């Protein structure tokens, strides 16, 4: 390092900041490469059988380099899941009308939830595989708790929309929201397995039918 006598201190600081910025940028790039590689493998072969070695090979890195950024395959897929949930929340808020007919506001806001997954089948598979295949997070599982907070944030937004545009109390709106999301998730799970088809049903039809019934309940006295 060359120290410059006049104004040298600021020059050194700027050099350090530049190196730190480049280091951070490189770390972000490598993480992105690893995440994208894991997602490609998931799309091709599902969650089972994917290994850290396979992810590293797909990303073009050594397995040691992959472990430098993620402790396990689970951590990689939790990051992918966090990205999906963040994008889901953004999609719902962008789709929800700010004003207008209360029934239309409820319908479009909740429709944005299941509509996102129906139009993003890869993200739907990822969420269903991870949410239905992992145990509750332990006290040490910070990533899992971040995911829970993100999901609760979306549920809170939906419940608040329902509360503000219906005759329901805040508690009743929370209950209706949890019921609706549980029904929708179950329908999406059955749909992804192909079992709804043999029953002569589609996810869209079943979700629309449930939402019509919910709207009758929540707007009865509005």
Strands (E), the chain: none
The position carrying tokens 């509360």 is 163
Q: Which domain holds residue 219?
A: 73-222
Distance, in Å, from the CA atom of 157 to the CA atom of 26, rounded to the nearest integer, reads 35
pLDDT tens column, 69-99: 999 988 898 899 889 999 999 999 999 887 8
124: closest CA among 116, 132, 134? 116
Instruction: Tell me the average pLDDT across 124-153.
Output: 69
Q: What is the pLDDT, as a whole number, of residue 7?
A: 54
Are both 81 and 165 inside the same structural domain? yes
Long-range CB pairs of 179-187, under 8 A, 24+ apart, other chains included: 179/214, 180/110, 180/210, 180/211, 180/214, 181/113, 181/155, 183/207, 183/210, 184/113, 184/114, 184/210, 185/128, 185/131
Distance, in Å, from the CA atom of 73 to the CA atom of 38, rounded to the nearest integer, reads 9
Would you say residue 126 has pLDDT above 90? Answer: no
Encoded tokens for 135: 């145990």
Are both 109 and 219 inside the same structural domain? yes
Residue with more model confidence, 19 or 111: 111
Are both 80 and 57 inside the same structural domain? no
User: What percentage of the chain reaches a pLDDT higher than 70?
Assistant: 82
Query: Which one of 70, 88, 122 terminates a domain?
Result: 70
Residue 1's pLDDT band (boundaries 50, 70, 90)?
very low
CA 53 to chain centre: 25
Distance, in Å, from the CA atom of 110 to the CA atom of 106, rounded to the nearest integer, reads 6
Are both 64 and 142 inside the same structural domain? no
Are both 23 and 89 inside the same structural domain? no
Are both 87 and 34 inside the same structural domain? no
Residue 174's pLDDT band (boundaries 50, 70, 90)?
very high
Are both 215 and 111 inside the same structural domain? yes
Please state the domain count of the chain. 2
Q: What is the pLDDT, as a whole number, of residue 37?
A: 94
Predicted TM-score (pTM) of this structure = 0.78
Q: What is the pLDDT, as a whole number, of residue 90?
A: 95
Query: Which one of 54, 70, 86 terminates a domain?
Result: 70
3-state secondary structure of 221: coil
Are both 99 and 188 inside the same structural domain? yes
115: closest CA among 95, 98, 129? 95
Q: How is 98-125 classified by DSSP, letter by letter?
A: SSS-HHHHHHHHHHHHHHHHHH-HHHHH
Q: What is the pLDDT, as a whole number, of residue 11?
A: 58
Q: What is the pLDDT, as a whole number, of residue 129?
A: 77
Mean of all residue pLDDT scores within the chain: 84
Are both 47 and 83 inside the same structural domain? no
pLDDT tens column, 4-48: 444 555 555 556 666 666 767 788 889 999 999 999 998 888 888
Encoded tokens for 205: 């039809």
Residue 221's pLDDT band (boundaries 50, 70, 90)?
low
User: What percentage of the chain reaches a pLDDT higher than 90?
Assistant: 49
Positive or negative torsion for Cα 140, 71, 73, 90: positive
């Amino acid at each position: 390092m060359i120290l410059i006598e006049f104004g040298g201190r600021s020059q050194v600081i700027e050099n350090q900041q530049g190196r730190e910025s480049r280091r951070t940028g490189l770390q972000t790039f490598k993480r992105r490469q690893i995440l994208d590689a894991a997602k490609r493998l998931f799309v091709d072969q599902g969650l089972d059988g994917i290994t850290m070695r396979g992810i590293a090979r797909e990303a073009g890195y050594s397995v040691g380099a992959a472990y430098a950024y993620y402790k396990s395959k689970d951590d990689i897929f939790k990051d992918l899941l966090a990205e999906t949930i963040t994008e889901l929340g953004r999609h719902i808020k962008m789709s929800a009308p700010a004003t207008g007919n209360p029934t239309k506001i409820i319908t479009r806001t909740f429709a944005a939830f299941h509509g996102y997954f129906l139009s993003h089948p890869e993200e739907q598979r990822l969420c269903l595989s991870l949410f239905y295949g992992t145990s509750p997070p332990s006290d040490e599982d910070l990533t899992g708790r971040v995911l829970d907070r993100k999901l609760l944030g979306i549920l809170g937004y939906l419940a608040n929309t329902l509360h503000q545009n219906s005759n329901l109390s805040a508690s009743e709106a929370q209950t209706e929201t949890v019921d609706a999301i549980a029904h929708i998730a179950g329908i999406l799970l059955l749909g992804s397995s192909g079992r709804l088809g043999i029953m002569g049903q589609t996810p869209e039809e079943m979700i629309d039918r449930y939402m019509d019934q919910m709207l009758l309940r929540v707007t009865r006295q509005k």
